[in-house]
Amino acid sequence: MTLIPEFNFSKVFLEPWSTSTLINWNGQIMLMGFMVCWTCGIVGSFIVIRRMALMGDAISHGILPGLAIAFIISGSMGLGSMFFGACIAGLACNFSIEWLHTHTKLKEDAAMGLVFTSFFAFGVTLISMNSHLHIDPGCLLYGEIGLVPLSEKWKVFGFEMGNRSLWTIGLVFCGVVIGTIFFYGPLVVTSFDSTLAKSMGIPVKATHMSLMLALALSTVASLEAVGVILVVAMFVFPPVTAAFFLQRLPTILIGTFPLGIIYTWGGFHLAYWLDCSIAAAIAVVATLLFIPACLLGPNGGILWRLKFKT
Amino acid sequence: MKAKPIEIHDLTVSFQKKPVLYGVDLEVEEGSLVGIIGPNGAGKSTLIKTIMNMITPNGGYVKIFGGNQKNGIKRIGYVPQRESVDWDFPVTVMDVILMGRYAHTRWFRKIGKSDRQVAQACLEQVDMTAFADRQIGNLSGGQQQRVFLARALAQDSSIYLMDEPFAGVDAVTEKTIISILKNMKKEGKTVVIVHHDLATAKEYFDHLLLLNMRKVAYGPINQVFTHELLQKTYGGKLTVFSEIASRAAKQPEIENKMQRSEN
């Protein structure tokens, strides 16, 4: 048995696109990947510049009990109940962390570690208790973007609109883009200097909450594709990688778009070659791109720093 | 009678039951250039932060132009300590100064051309025009301080609060700050500055607040900058401070200046 399957260019890069059925199937996977990377990349950019990358981790795990309770109450995976449950749990997670941090002697990182793991454990317990719900915990944890084309059809007033997962992430993506364009100013000012924002009458807390909601929503929409663990990679990798090449936030935000395409395209074909999980392969490609960026990036890359020192 | 820009009454602030400020009363006249002086841990920054509504006091109140604080702080330009923000933040010098303009736009509106012109003018005032497109992380400490100052100028406020703007800056920056302070005074702005250097306090400010948990003294610099009051300010805390205070107050040039101004 060989560890790595033999690399065959036409098999890896051309075969997935050789028939119209395959193009349709794999096209949906790619589209899902693009939109997951873009949505998470934009939300993640704000999370990272606020030095809250770990909060992203916490919230993405913390929504699990909300999802589980929504499943149990509604008995189905309705979009509305999923989003509602996730938002409530996400905000509860955020409030619990802040409360512990301000009202006890716990530091923020310890509070975070406590809260999100307990939320997560609670969620996993609920899901595995109710095995009749037909939710595969593994799928929630790791996601399976390869099965996205199998997702049920979304029906609006009896009209079939097409793949539900794609619609979900598409709507969240549009919401995030519109929100970013309209509220760019408050988002940037509150991130950079919250005192200044407050003194100008910008609602600092509300902006923070909206960002946490956007985080919860994009996690839910990405869940089927990449799962709650790897979604953190989708939040953190694009802005961090882009920041090694670009100096301004607007360009970093735009930079997440090509990065999303490369991640998905690379990850998809890597998974096709190695016959592994596509979501994991996407995260591996993101890592492989991060390393040269960290070394060679003109904006703070390690080699550039050495050059300037000498 | 016109309302005072800053009016503080019986202000008490404590952190985890340890008092930091105790019963501070203060009325700052419009157009004055006030230095806040006191030893480390005297509550200088705390006072400024309480005025900015970043800290909720345990007792007493702050009024700004006679009105409540929440609306009042919109008329204050705040220059925080340099370390208070993340300088790796992906914005350019120009972006930071434009942030000062959000006070003058509706918060969902885009920054316009006139805002850019104002920002450009403010950059010129602090002599940083050449750096407009630099990322803020690639600036020296003094340049960073000047960016903060330009941002405050762009806010075009009636009151300015500055937290140690002179700390660790180069000579050029120090000169720039002084000339800007003079301009602000000319325009009738009220400026309050936390300052740590006794030796320069005398030439920078026209009013002085001596603070060590309590208000030791407040008034025109000639009346307050005295050996006795300085020793009272620095003496209660630690003997080291008391030595610094007496050394500074005994400095011959200051004594001479004082005599000159008294005559």
CATH 3.40.50.920 is the classification of domain B6-84+158-262: no
Percent of chain B at pLDDT above 70? Answer: 86
Would the pLDDT of A121 be above 90? yes
Name, in order, each residue with C-beta under 8 angstroms of B250's C-beta and a sequence gap of 6 or more.
B227
Domain parsing of chain A, residue ranges: 9-303
Do the chains contact at A188 and B99, CB–CB below 8 Å? yes
H runs (alpha helix) in B166-238: 171-186, 198-204, 221-224, 227-235
Domain A9-303 fold: ABC transporter involved in vitamin B12 uptake, BtuC (1.10.3470)
Name, in order, each residue with C-beta under 8 angstroms of A133's C-beta and a sequence gap of 6 or more.
A71, A72, A75, A127
H runs (alpha helix) in A104-245: 108-129, 137-142, 164-182, 184-192, 194-199, 204-242
Q: Which residue has the tokens 């407050």?
A: A198
Residues of B in contact with A249 (CB under 8 A): 90-91, 95
Strand segments, DSSP code E, in chain B are: 6-15, 18-28, 33-37, 59-64, 76-79, 159-163, 190-194, 207-212, 214-220
How far is residue A233's CA from residue A208's CA, in Å, rounded to a whole number? 21
Is residue B99 within 8 angstroms of chain A, CB to CB? yes
Would the pLDDT of B254 be above 70? no
Place A75 in a pLDDT band, splitting at 50, 70 and 90: confident
- Alpha carbon A46 to chain centroid, angstroms: 13
Query: Regarding beta strands B18-28 and B159-163, do their DSSP bridges make them parallel or antiparallel, or are they unpaired?
Result: unpaired
Domain parsing of chain B, residue ranges: 6-84+158-262
Do the chains contact at A188 and B96, CB–CB below 8 Å? no
Q: What is the DSSP letter of B74?
A: G
A17 CA: distance to closest CA in chain B (Å): 39
φ/ψ (deg, to 5) at B174: -60, -45
What is the number of residues in chain B? 263
Q: Which residue has the tokens 């004055």?
A: B32
Per residue in A166-222, pLDDT tens? 988 999 999 999 999 988 988 999 999 988 888 888 888 999 999 999 999 999 899
A282 CA: distance to closest CA in chain B (Å): 26
Per residue in A240-271, pLDDT tens? 999 999 989 999 999 999 999 999 999 999 99
Residues of B in contact with A200 (CB under 8 A): 74, 102-103, 107
Would the pLDDT of B105 be above 70? no
Per-residue pLDDT averaged across A29-34, rounded? Answer: 93
Cα dihedral A234→A236→A238→A242 (10° resolution): 180
Nearest Cα neighbor of A179 from A216, A207, A221, A220 is A207
Name, in order, each residue with C-beta under 8 angstroms of B79's C-beta and a sequence gap of 6 or more.
B148, B149, B151, B152, B160, B161, B162, B163, B165
Q: Which residue has the tokens 């006091």?
A: B57
Would the pLDDT of B259 be above 80? no
Structure tokens at A297: 């990036």
